[in-house]
Amino acid sequence: MAGWVYAYRLEHRMKSIRCLLLVCFVLHLTLAAPVRAGDPASAPTSDAPRVRVLVAYHSLRGNTRQMAEAVAEGVAKVDGAVATVKRVEDCTKEDLQAADGLILGCPTYFANIPGAMKVVIDDWNWKLKVDFTDKVGGAFTTGGGQTGGKEHTAISLLLFLLNNRMVVAGPLYEDEEGDDKWGELGSSAMTGPLDPGVGNSELDAARRLGERIARVARRMKSPR
Ligand SMILES: Cc1cc2nc3c(=O)[nH]c(=O)nc-3n(C[C@H](O)[C@H](O)[C@H](O)COP(=O)(O)O)c2cc1C
């Protein structure tokens, strides 16, 4: 009789152990499953923090949109950084709040920010109550003329960002030897009629702007 009881208990214990092993095996498979391409978690190639940069632009004829896309290419060069490109009027409160970096771009209208864009971005603070404190910002612009006010437009965008408690930066330049180094206040393109369209060097400046803002935003997020 005692032997029967002992055998029954042993069998019961073995069943419990088998169950436990099965649970462990399933857990192992679940946790070790490879991350599918396209999953947000698979984007960064190192342990760098994920940095979100919103490139928000206004454009009627497409020149400034071209610059915005190049800015986003620059952002993508930075490990762990992702860019979203949107027209200012399509940016939601959630887009703005989620962004670690915000890069604004617009054409020059009468040497300044186009009124239609100003109406939209003024509401981000005034109506949407977005808190921009310590987000990192940058600016880019296009203009038809060589001295038609592009730089003034870029400065006006930077003032908007500064006034909204952001930290601003511009693209970096250096010569081939790396001896001569400069910083710029933003990126711009001359679009005509004397120099029509957006040129390669202007797109390159836009890429450098995106890369710089993503780097600074990453540093702000995780200072070393
Ligand atoms: C109403 C209006 C005013 C403009 N004023 C200026 C100006 O003051 N200075 C300048 O360089 N270009 C000026 N432009 C030219 C635009 O800035 C230029 O074409 C720009 O690249 C257009 O950008 P988009 O293609 O993204 O719309 C003006 C264009 C318009 C339609």
What is the pLDDT tens value at each position of the chain, 224 positions in all?
455 555 556 565 656 656 455 554 444 443 333 333 223 333 445 565 699 999 999 999 999 999 999 999 999 999 999 999 999 999 999 999 999 999 999 999 999 999 999 999 999 999 999 999 999 999 999 999 999 999 999 999 999 999 999 999 999 998 888 889 999 999 999 999 999 999 999 999 999 999 999 999 999 988 76
Largest distance between two CA atoms of the chain: 106
Question: Given ligand 1 and candidates 142, 190, 198, which is best to mutate, with the most ligand atoms within 8 Å of its CB?
Answer: 142
Q: Which atom of ligand 1 is nearest to the CA of 62?
A: 25
Distance 32 CA to ligand 1 centre (A): 54
> Is 124 near ligand 1, meaning CB less than 6 Å away?
no
> Is 87 near ligand 1, meaning CB less than 6 Å away?
no
Minimal-distance CA residue to ligand 1 atom 3: 109
Domain 49-221: CATH superfamily is: Flavodoxin domain (3.40.50.360)
User: What is the structure's pLDDT at 25?
Assistant: 47
Q: Which atom of ligand 1 is nearest to the CA of 146?
A: 11
72-to-23, 38, 114, 208 alpha-carbon distances in Å: 45, 18, 22, 10
Minimal-distance CA residue to ligand 1 atom 17: 143
3-state helix, strand, coil split of the chain in percent (to 5) is 45, 20, 35
Per DSSP, 40 falls in state G
> Is 108 near ligand 1, meaning CB less than 6 Å away?
yes
pTM of the model: 0.81
> Is 64 near ligand 1, meaning CB less than 6 Å away?
yes
User: What is the structure's pLDDT at 13?
Assistant: 62
Decide if 126 contacts 133 (C-beta within 8 A): no
Q: How far apart are CA 54 and CA 137, in angstroms?
A: 9
User: What is the structure's pLDDT at 48?
Assistant: 55
> Is 69 near ligand 1, meaning CB less than 6 Å away?
no
Residue in this structure with the two tokens 């009881």, named with its chain if needed? 5
Minimal-distance CA residue to ligand 1 atom 28: 109
Q: Which atom of ligand 1 is nearest to the CA of 192?
A: 19
User: What is the structure's pLDDT at 24?
Assistant: 41
- Give me the residues paired with residue 105 across strands: 57, 140
| Domain ranges, ordered by start, for the chain | 49-221
- Give me the residues paired with residue 137 across strands: 102, 168
Distance 47 CA to ligand 1 centre (A): 43
Q: How far apart are CA 166 and CA 102, in angstroms?
A: 9
User: What is the structure's pLDDT at 40?
Assistant: 33
Strand ranges, E, within the chain = 51-57, 81-87, 101-107, 136-143, 167-168, 172-174, 181-183, 187-190
- CB-CB neighbours of 40 under 10 Å: 9
Decide if 198 contacts 124 (C-beta within 8 A): no
Q: Which residue in 81, 71, 61, 102 sits closest to 204, CA to CA?
A: 71
